[in-house]
Amino acid sequence: MSKVKEELKVVVVQDIIHWDDEAANLSHFTAVLAEIKAGYSDLIVLPEMFTTGFSLGTESAAVFDEEMDVLQWMKSVAKEKQACITGSVKVKDGERFFNRLFWVAEDGSTSFYDKRHLFTFAGEHEHFAAGERRLVVECKGWRIGLFICYDLRFPIWSRNMNSGGLPIYDAAVYVANWPAVRSEPWSILLKARAIENQCYVIACNRVGKDLNEHIYSGNSGVIDPKGVDLAAAVPFEPALIKTSLSYPELADFRKKFPVIEDGDWEFGIGNA
């Protein structure tokens, strides 16, 4: 693990998504990110299914390989901005389809997390396979836990501890297409995950209306380990949320108020 950067600079992209049009979305997000100068940010976060919107049609899923267009685009952004970048897309891997969150590091190395909790209310489980493992990655020495939308409702999956009862991540990222009609649970659950896991929470949700007539308010932002909003976007409006996370403040809070050490790790999911 590399030395921890004391202040991690984060950019959260709350924006519209063109329905089932990867080329249009990549062009759109290229333009949106144009104002982020190289070296300004350490981490850029895009919404769930940022190349298609929450479309369950598998015919528009990208075939997974290291040369796929969206991965090449993410690598070019990571290199240009000198930052890690993450966001989910729908992919075909072998004979199965996944809602897959890609993580691309500044050096171009990649990893991915497949959404564990599929949104059965909308029939997501009828089209996509569920992931089987959590993923914790590193950015400037920070440990980042990665999650997708509906995962937010299941605290055991997000539990921030290993089999020794120690925290495994410093910040949790939740990318989403979370409708405005349920914006209140979204905001409450994000704060709950931050408080119970003594971590920063980075939340990235889309705005606009999709072809299923679902309206999205965004309500994206960054929350500190005490459940306090560090930064929040104006609902329903596209926004680039820019803020910094303080590792010394996180470490000091965990040391002075070590609630994680009293957690019931033996009833959780064990190591990531």
Instruction: Return the amino acid letter for 271.
Output: N
Show Cβ contacts of residue 213 under 8 Å, excluding neighbours closer than 6 positions. Answer: none
Catalytic residue among 48, 84, 140, 199: 48
Tell me, yes or no, if 204 is annotated catalytic.
Answer: no
Tell me, yes or no, if 149 is annotated catalytic.
Answer: yes
Tell me, yes or no, if 79 is annotated catalytic.
Answer: no
Say how many Å lie between the first and final Cα of the chain, rounded: 16
Smallest CA-to-CA distance from 176 within 90, 50, 19, 18 is with 50
The count of other CB atoms within 10 Å of the CB of residue 261 is 13
Instruction: Return the amino acid letter for 67.
Output: E
Structure tokens given for 128: 């996509």
Counts for the chain of helices (H) and strands (E), in that order: 5, 15
What is the CA 254 to chain-centroid distance, rounded? 23
Q: Which residues are catalytic?
A: 48, 115, 149
